[in-house]
Amino acid sequence: MRYLDAAATRTALGMSAAIAAMERAFGDDREVPVRTLLGPSLFMAGRVGADTGVKVVSTAPGKPFGIVAVFGADGACRGLVDGPTLTAIRTAAGAGLATRLLARPDARTMAMLGAGAMAFDQVTAVKEVRPIFEVLVWSRDPDHAAALADRVDGQVVGDPSEAVGAADVVSTATPSRQALFVPSAVRPGTHINAVGAFTPEMCEIPADVVRQARVFVDDLEASAAEAGDLLQAGSRPDGTLGDLLAGRMTGRSDALQVTFFKSVGIASQDVAAGAAALDRAERLGLGVVIG
């Protein structure tokens, strides 16, 4: 059994490979029971193809502890992967896949609202699938915004609505309980990824924007229970990324349509990403072999 710490996980799982893993994660051959909160820890079990797994992560603010265990077809544990690192990469990869499927091909400017632990990977994922030349960064914490802007060669913007109004792709990763920008800021043809809100009480996107957009989610059952952006807007998704991948639905109908990917995060993402990281780690001899 192999253990990948944070550094080994990042080395083993580049963004291109992570986005490819999300095609498995959102495909039809998966099972994703609704997650369970026990004490301060969140338990998420799932299956993708022959691989199964479980993630256990802390929900205590400022304490990003966690682990992902991946099991093979015979039930043996293939390995353990650092939970917070894998979560950041796979969450961004899901948004990257959604951007590839839904954003305009000529998207050039990105607004990143939020500059916490998830933000750098969110920018990396969008840049992986679209030729982004300008990144506008906003955060309630100016120091965090400046640090992220330096890291992604972006520009700090003091008003989130201003950033959204200049962007072709908008990504949000905050713990907000109210909309981050005014509805009128969204330009026709914008694509939005929202990954921060994962409870009914949380919300990042204005209700009017949600109602007018073409909306896709990671999982219908999970979003119905947890996607505050949709629940507070009284809106139901048009479909899932799996529907788009399987060709059951089409995404953007024209260049002026606003598209919206709402993610709450599902365990099949952890299993698929964890399996991909362990596969490459084994080839490269990364991590620590236990037992």
- Asked whether the predicted pLDDT for residue 272 surpasses 80, the reply is yes
- Both 46 and 112 in one domain: the answer is no
76 is in which domain, residue-wise?
Answer: 2-87+267-289
**Which helix (DSSP H) or strand (DSSP E) does residue 26 occupy?**
none
- Both 149 and 32 in one domain: the answer is no
Mean pLDDT of the chain: 96
- Both 119 and 18 in one domain: the answer is no
- Asked whether the predicted pLDDT for residue 47 surpasses 80, the reply is yes
With cut-offs at 50, 70 and 90, classify the pLDDT of residue 288: very high
With cut-offs at 50, 70 and 90, classify the pLDDT of residue 155: very high
What pLDDT score does 16 carry?
98
- Asked whether the predicted pLDDT for residue 203 surpasses 80, the reply is yes
* Alpha carbons 291 and 202: distance in angstroms, whole number: 43
The predicted model gives 191-205 an average pLDDT of 95
- Both 202 and 221 in one domain: the answer is yes
What pLDDT score does 251 carry?
93
- Both 124 and 256 in one domain: the answer is yes
Percent of the chain with pLDDT strictly greater than 70: 100
Residue 264's Cα: distance from chain center in Å?
8
With cut-offs at 50, 70 and 90, classify the pLDDT of residue 254: very high
The predicted model gives 4-8 an average pLDDT of 97
pLDDT digits (tens, 9 = 90+) for 122-136: 999 999 999 999 999
- Both 183 and 152 in one domain: the answer is yes
With cut-offs at 50, 70 and 90, classify the pLDDT of residue 63: confident
What pLDDT score does 166 carry?
98
Query: For position 166, which CATH number holds?
Result: 3.40.50.720
What pLDDT score does 132 carry?
98
b/e map of 71-99 (b: 16 or more CB within 10 Å)? beeeeeebbbbbbbbbbbbbbbbbbbbbb
What pLDDT score does 61 carry?
77
Into how many domains does the chain fold?
A: 2
What pLDDT score does 268 carry?
97
The residue behind tokens 């979003």 is: 223
The predicted model gives 220-240 an average pLDDT of 95
- Both 275 and 255 in one domain: the answer is no
- Both 254 and 274 in one domain: the answer is no
- Both 147 and 217 in one domain: the answer is yes
- Both 207 and 156 in one domain: the answer is yes
Percent of the chain with pLDDT strictly greater than 90: 95
* Non-local CB neighbours of 49 within 8 Å, separated by 6+ positions: 24, 29, 30
Query: For position 280, which CATH number holds?
Result: 3.30.1780.10
What pLDDT score does 60 carry?
83
* Alpha carbons 173 and 89: distance in angstroms, whole number: 13
Q: Answer yes or no: is 97 within a domain.
A: no
- Asked whether the predicted pLDDT for residue 291 surpasses 80, the reply is no
With cut-offs at 50, 70 and 90, classify the pLDDT of residue 245: very high
* Non-local CB neighbours of 6 within 8 Å, separated by 6+ positions: 82, 84, 85
